[in-house]
Amino acid sequence: MEADGDKMATTQAGTPTTAPRPPATKPGKQGKPVAMVKFGSASVPVYRCGSGGRVRFAISHYRDGKRLRQFFTTLEAAKKEAQLVAQRIQAGMQHVTDLKPHERDNYARAVELLGSLNIPLVAAVEDYVQARKLAESESLTAMATAYRKFFKPLTRRVTVPELVAELLATRKQDGASKTYLGQLKTILTRFAEAFPGEILGITSSDLDAWLRGFKLSAGSRNAMLACVKVLFSHARSQNCLPAEQMTAPEQLKKVKVTHDDVSVFSPEEMTTILHAAPMHLIPILAIGAFTGIRMAELNRLDWSAVDLERGMIELRAGQAKTASRRIIPIPDNLRAWLEPLPRKGKVVSAKQQHREVTTLARSLKMKWPRNVLRHSYISYRIAKIKSADQVALEAGNSPSIIFKHYRELTTEEQADKWFAIMPKEGQGSDRVSSDDENGGTLLNGVAAE
């Protein structure tokens, strides 16, 4: 007997089981169902019968090769069960064992709840099980609330390559220099190749592994990280990343750069290089050696910013690495080097001139350490004026870095010799020849054909 008092009887297929007609009812025509429940092409009849003077309602169907009859005290209960039987017949699932009444109610309620979302019950259960595994002991509702808080404001879902193209176009429109655009393009193109999907899915650990894979120096890794930060900042400004959450590059710390390898030229070495240099390389060598301007800043410098009369070079905020205006004094020996030169347009007229400088050094059997001109200037300048604060202002650096890494590398006597290096008589008429990296010959710093 079922929980609601209904009875169930089974017989072998083909063996009908009859029940006496209730004498107190008027069932209508003999053998006719009182209701026919349909679902799709499946139909299940409901019969009225009597037992012990009481009215009963029965449905009859086959399951697992056996004829099954079920009895109910009300017509409504019989029709409800007939509906479930018809659904199983239509779905080809008549072989499945009947659910218990409370299980059927739970099933019906679950289907009803999912109806507004148009999600099948099985898909909903699979999604819940996967989310439950990921959440472990956390509340799914709390996690969904937090997700909505951070990610609901997002209006765009774009890939990294799309963002890179968009950023480069924006920076070009804003007037960024070709050098800066070239650096962004080189680094971010590699980044897009490594992460072609949505930027939203990139983690700090992903980014750290990518940077370490290049096996670069600390400074180079920091430079690459800075470019990636620009991309993520752009993505956040375009509502592609949450505004209140740290981005992947912001979670990474810069690699500490040591200055233990600071190398400087001696006054004698600098004299040898300058006296051997063709005139078109003098600006790079002399301004670099006697003002400490960074090579990237020198590339952006115009001759209009070099004021020999007032004895100063003005680096505007847009030209300086630190994005702040700097005034750099021109010492007397630098004035002597610059006065004979034509001073129009860019100070560095072609990028290849930097390669020509290193080629010149090799032709003189000399090494060219990284940032050697800037390191030399700072070292000799602080030895001469004894003020880390003043040198920091001129070099665009912090006093702590100046004091920590450049103090006492040279003597005041050496500094006097450094800032006394003057052009030799007839400077500029000499022709310097050396093999360049491509096997050609440089005459006055220009590749000969």
The residue to which tokens 């009887």 are assigned: 9
User: What pLDDT, on a 0 to 100 scale, did the predictor assign at position 278?
Assistant: 92
Q: How many residues does the chain have?
A: 449
User: What pLDDT, on a 0 to 100 scale, did the predictor assign at position 123?
Assistant: 83
Q: List residues bridging with 70 in a β-sheet.
A: 8, 59
User: What pLDDT, on a 0 to 100 scale, did the predictor assign at position 89?
Assistant: 78
Identify the burial level of 434 via C-beta atoms within 10 angstroms of its C-beta, where 0-12 means exposed, 13-18 middle and 19 or more buried: middle
Q: Running DSSP on this structure, what letter comes out for residue 331?
A: -
Q: Where are the domains of the chain?
A: 8-98, 121-151, 160-251, 267-448
Cα 201 from Cα 248, distance rounded (Å)? 10
Cα 9 from Cα 390, distance rounded (Å)? 104
Q: How far from each other are the two terminal CA atoms of the chain, in whole angstroms?
A: 106
CA 16 to chain CA mean position, Å: 73
Q: Tell me the one-letter amino acid at 167.
A: L
Max intra-chain CA distance, the chain? 139
What is the rounded average pLDDT for all residues in the chain?
Answer: 80
The pairing of strands 306-307 and 42-51 is unpaired
Given a cut of 50, the residues of the chain with pLDDT beneath it are 1-5, 8, 10-30, 94-96, 323, 430-449
User: What pLDDT, on a 0 to 100 scale, did the predictor assign at position 204?
Assistant: 94
Answer yes or no: are the C-beta atoms of 412 and 383 closer than 8 Å.
Answer: yes
User: What pLDDT, on a 0 to 100 scale, did the predictor assign at position 324?
Assistant: 63
- Which residue, among 244, 250, 232, 238, has the nearest Cα to 146 in the 3D structure? 244
User: What pLDDT, on a 0 to 100 scale, did the predictor assign at position 61?
Assistant: 78
Cα 203 from Cα 248, distance rounded (Å)? 5
Model pTM above 0.75: no
User: What pLDDT, on a 0 to 100 scale, did the predictor assign at position 203?
Assistant: 93
Cα 136 from Cα 408, distance rounded (Å)? 60
- Which residue, among 121, 117, 95, 100, has the nearest Cα to 109 in the 3D structure? 121
User: What pLDDT, on a 0 to 100 scale, did the predictor assign at position 263?
Assistant: 82
Two tokens, residue 389: 């604060």
Residue 443: its H or E element? strand 441-443
Cα 351 from Cα 190, distance rounded (Å)? 23
Answer yes or no: are the C-beta atoms of 21 and 49 closer than 8 Å.
Answer: yes
User: For 6-23, how does the pLDDT look when each residue is reduced to its tens digit (9 = 90+)?
Assistant: 554 544 444 444 444 444
User: What pLDDT, on a 0 to 100 scale, did the predictor assign at position 153?
Assistant: 60
Contacts of 179 (CB under 8 A, 6+ apart): 296, 299, 300
Residue 223: its H or E element? helix 218-237
Cα 42 from Cα 85, distance rounded (Å)? 9
User: What pLDDT, on a 0 to 100 scale, did the predictor assign at position 443?
Assistant: 30
Q: List residues bridging with 307 in a β-sheet.
A: 312
Angle between helices 399-406 and 372-385 (to 10 degrees): 90
User: What pLDDT, on a 0 to 100 scale, did the predictor assign at position 258?
Assistant: 61
Contacts of 380 (CB under 8 A, 6+ apart): 264, 410, 414, 415, 418, 419
The CATH code that applies to domain 160-251 is 1.10.150
CA 170 to chain CA mean position, Å: 18
Phi, psi of 400 (to 5 degrees): -65, -40
Answer yes or no: are the C-beta atoms of 437 and 352 closer than 8 Å.
Answer: no
CA 108 to chain CA mean position, Å: 45
- Indicate if 267-448 has the same CATH topology as 160-251: no
Neighbours of 367 (CB within 10 A): 11
User: What pLDDT, on a 0 to 100 scale, did the predictor assign at position 21?
Assistant: 42
User: What pLDDT, on a 0 to 100 scale, did the predictor assign at position 134?
Assistant: 82
The CATH code that applies to domain 267-448 is 1.10.443
Angle between helices 121-135 and 140-151 (to 10 degrees): 90
Q: List residues bridging with 448 in a β-sheet.
A: 441
Cα 170 from Cα 299, distance rounded (Å)? 23
Contacts of 99 (CB under 8 A, 6+ apart): 107
